[in-house]
Amino acid sequence: MDRAESVRGRQPGARYALVLCTSIYFLSYVDRMAPQSVKEDIINDFGLKDSQSALPTTCANAVYPIAAVIAGWMVDTALVDCRTLLTIALVVWSVCTALTAFSQHLGQLILLRMFVYAGEAAFAAIAFPLLADFYPKRELTAMYGILMLGMPLGVSAGFAAGGVVGSAFGWRAALCLCGVPGLVLSCFVPRMTLPSKSTISERAVGSTSGPRRVSLDDALQEYCEIFSQPHWLVAISGGALLTFGLSIAAEWVTVYYIRYADSSLEEATLMMSLRTLFGAGLATLLFSRLAQHYSMSIQNINFLVPAVFTIPGVAFAYIENNTPQHKSIMYSAAFAGSFFQYSFNGPMTAVMMQAIRPELRGRAFSAWLAIQRIFDMVGPLAAGIASDHVGLRTAMQIIWMVLLATDLCWWAGYMLTPLKADQEVDKQAATTYYSLLFEASEAKDSRCAGVAAASEKSHLCGNLGQKTHEYASVP
């Protein structure tokens, strides 16, 4: 497997790392969404107002950016092996997810959710830059499309687990059950190999130069470099707006179904689960493949795909939030809206990594996570406050308005000067590929005259540039 990965330009162990990180990413969203699926039960159990019920998510999201920045800095400066940090993060958030089931008041619920989000932040700050080191640039969009499948699948599973288990045994049993799988997955993290040429792995495993020390001036210059990259800046701007809108939907949509469409808890959580699974899940895979397929023929395709397909997503979001009296129309619009709204997932993550040089990716992605969580923190609380004053149905109108603003960001990104396409082949892969050619040539040396064999070998070397270009286009 490692040899096949090397020939394709990947680092050894790339497939194992992708499967493991996708599984953990999936689980992070299960643990994150399970409390949202039983939100109405928690409100009734603790006697909370709508605005109070949003405090656990709000406070947890306040911790998320801090934890993400610290984790990204620790990995980039080699203070700890990224596998060790990832294992600790996974264990912490899994244990705290299970302990949430024993909360006796709002304060305990808030504290435990803060630890859950801190662990998830550390994982995201490590995994996304690390996987970029495993794969060549030409495969990043497709690779992140697979990784980002963890989000819609995890959201779907979280709502399904919360709805089914919560309805049968109560919300506490649902949250306790969700904490178990993470402890199992943590056993597989230490077995992950690190990419041999990764700036992350070279520092994390303890290079001879030791931890990388960065002065304050150098750190400020590096962050200025990150925030001055226009493609990265547009990508995080659109992503932040979209996070604001989608966080409102994730927090309040099941409550909206129950209150205005007379849906039961089982029905509301089932519809949320299915729309995420078949809408967002399918969209993440399909649109990532679409952007990957046309990446060499259409400039800024990673911006163009979400720019085009977010437009119908806006229309369907408006229909969903204004037709609760017609369940069939509302649910159909919800399915279609989720499909188009998640067209950004793989393409935008690829842009964020392609736009930043490798040694800054950890901090760049941590900065994005910090910004994302600020908007994720404000969205549910803003909708909760608005719901207390004007009603939840009016507050939900924010979603389609934010989606419209997001689409404008995607179009702005499409108008930028295209990022330089990656035309270079990974040296290790090229060496492996051409060693096969020369092995064949050496075998022929034993059967042919020396001059003829030498001439053939020279011919191979003379065409190295042409063959390398052909190799770079191998899917």
Would you say 326 and 191 are in contact if contact means Cβ atoms under 8 Å apart? no
pLDDT band for 312, please (50, 70, 90 cuts): very high
Cα 106 to Cα 373: distance, rounded to the nearest angstrom:
21
The torsion angle over the Cα atoms of residues 129, 133, 136 and 142, rounded to 10 degrees, is -40
Cα 319 to Cα 161: distance, rounded to the nearest angstrom:
28
Would you say 457 and 441 are in contact if contact means Cβ atoms under 8 Å apart? yes
Which tens digits make up the pLDDT trace of 98-120?
998 898 888 899 999 999 999 98
What is the rounded average pLDDT for all residues in the chain?
79
Flag whether pLDDT at 79 surpasses 90.
Answer: no
Cα 387 to Cα 104: distance, rounded to the nearest angstrom:
26
HEC profile for 457-475?
HHHHHHCHHHHHHHHHCCC
Region 447-462: what's the mean pLDDT? 46
Q: How far apart, in Å, are the Cα atoms of 362 and each of 8, 76, 82, 143? A: 24, 6, 11, 17
Max mean pLDDT among 32-41, 104-113, 127-136 falls in 104-113
In this structure, what token pair is assigned to residue 376? 């994720």
- In this prediction, residue 5 carries a pLDDT of 52
In this structure, what token pair is assigned to residue 76? 């980039």
| Residue whose entry in the numeric block shows the structure tokens 């799988």 | 181
Flag whether pLDDT at 447 surpasses 80.
Answer: no
- In this prediction, residue 218 carries a pLDDT of 72
Closest Cα partner for 165 from 13, 273, 276? 273
Cα 417 to Cα 232: distance, rounded to the nearest angstrom:
12
Closest Cα partner for 345 from 417, 246, 412? 246
Cα 375 to Cα 245: distance, rounded to the nearest angstrom:
9
pLDDT band for 8, please (50, 70, 90 cuts): low
Cα 57 to Cα 35: distance, rounded to the nearest angstrom:
9
Which tens digits make up the pLDDT trace of 335-391?
999 899 888 878 888 888 888 887 777 778 778 878 887 888 788 888 989 998 899
Share of the chain above pLDDT 70, in %: 81
pLDDT band for 420, please (50, 70, 90 cuts): low
DSSP annotation string for 289-332: HHHHHTTTTSTTHHHHHHHHHHHHHHHHHHHHTT-TT-HHHHHH
DSSP summary character for residue 275: I
Closest Cα partner for 250 from 146, 377, 347? 377
% helix, strand, coil for the chain, step of 5: 80, 0, 20
Cα 163 to Cα 269: distance, rounded to the nearest angstrom:
5
pLDDT band for 470, please (50, 70, 90 cuts): very low
| Residue whose entry in the numeric block shows the structure tokens 């990532």 | 288
Cα 28 to Cα 116: distance, rounded to the nearest angstrom:
9
Which tens digits make up the pLDDT trace of 186-244?
999 999 988 775 444 444 444 444 455 556 677 788 888 889 899 999 999 999 999 89
Give the angle subtended at the CA of 419 by the CAs of 413 and 420, to the nearest 5°.
170
- In this prediction, residue 236 carries a pLDDT of 92
Which tens digits make up the pLDDT trace of 160-177?
888 788 778 888 888 888
User: Comparing 54-68, 243-257, 292-306, 459-473, which segment has the lowest mean pLDDT?
Assistant: 459-473
- In this prediction, residue 213 carries a pLDDT of 56
Flag whether pLDDT at 310 surpasses 50.
Answer: yes
More confident site: 144 or 446 = 144
Would you say 167 and 37 are in contact if contact means Cβ atoms under 8 Å apart? no
- In this prediction, residue 215 carries a pLDDT of 64
More confident site: 426 or 42 = 42
Flag whether pLDDT at 462 surpasses 60.
Answer: no
User: Comparing 69-83, 297-311, 401-415, which segment has the lowest mean pLDDT?
Assistant: 69-83
Phi-psi region of 366 (alpha: psi -120 to 50; beta: other; left: phi over 0): alpha
pLDDT band for 9, please (50, 70, 90 cuts): low
Cα 87 to Cα 194: distance, rounded to the nearest angstrom:
14
Q: How far apart, in Å, are the Cα atoms of 50 and each of 186, 321, 324, 385? A: 35, 18, 20, 7
Residue 248 φ then ψ, to 5°: -65, -45
Q: How many residues does the chain have?
A: 475
Would you say 18 and 146 are in contact if contact means Cβ atoms under 8 Å apart? yes
